[in-house]
A and B are shown apart, each in its own frame.
Chain A
């Protein structure tokens, strides 16, 4: 079955840049979406179609994709950004969607 691979954890100090990666063999042809999930809450969309930011999401959140690797970058991370982040994309067949395993971002 298709897999998206993320690092389990990323840690930065406040004000630093956090970069969370997501790798998958179909990413050269399929969009990636990123979700933030704070503790005890439902996930929230922070990046769609690789690089687009929904209204209300701070500009410090950005997305990129090149080849089989996509990335979510938080420039000037804040303590409030501490959360789990999941990438999401469709498998090569186009029949099912898959989440990455999630990355726990610590900002302290």
Chain B
């Protein structure tokens, strides 16, 4: 079955770059869109953005657009998120998921907590 697993540092310093990778198993990353979503502790879900497997179509949240980028590595069946100049307000659970573009997000990773602190 389709499985996604986030990985990356659980602690990032203020003003540095948050980098996360999502490893996909059970399905090829090709021919799909891939999405990142975050959830501040105790709060609602926030769409971060999506990327097509070719990297040729990517959309980001307007509120994060100036700081976020995504990439895909088809050889490793992985996709990644980079968020620059982080502040404590970027502390959140980050979920990777399959879907995006005009398609629903159907499979989710378990999420990983990233804490931003000085």
- A residues touching B (Cβ–Cβ < 8 Å)? 1, 33, 35, 37, 41-45, 48-49, 54, 86, 88, 90, 95-102
Q: What separation, in Å, do the CA atoms of A56 and B35 have in the docked complex? A: 23
Residue from the set A86, A95, A96, A101 with the largest chain B CB neighbour count within 10 Å: A96
Residue B62 at the chain A interface, CB threshold 8 Å: yes
What is the number of residues of chain B that contact chain A, defined by CB distance less than 8 Å? Answer: 22
Residues of A within 8 A of B108 (CB): 42-44
A42-B105 CB under 8 A given contacts A35-B45, A95-B59, A96-B59: no
- Quick one: closest A residue to B63, CB to CB? A1
Nearest first, the 8 A-B pairs at minimum CB distance are A42-B108, A99-B45, A97-B47, A48-B104, A102-B44, A33-B104, A101-B44, A45-B106
Residue B28 at the chain A interface, CB threshold 8 Å: no
Q: What separation, in Å, do the CA atoms of A44 and B37 have in the docked complex? A: 13
Q: Are A96 and B47 in contact (CB under 8 A)?
A: yes
| Shortest distance from the beta carbon of B22 to any chain A beta carbon, whole Å | 12
Residue from the set A33, A49, A100 with the largest chain B CB neighbour count within 10 Å: A33
Residue B66 at the chain A interface, CB threshold 8 Å: no
Residues of A within 8 A of B61 (CB): 96
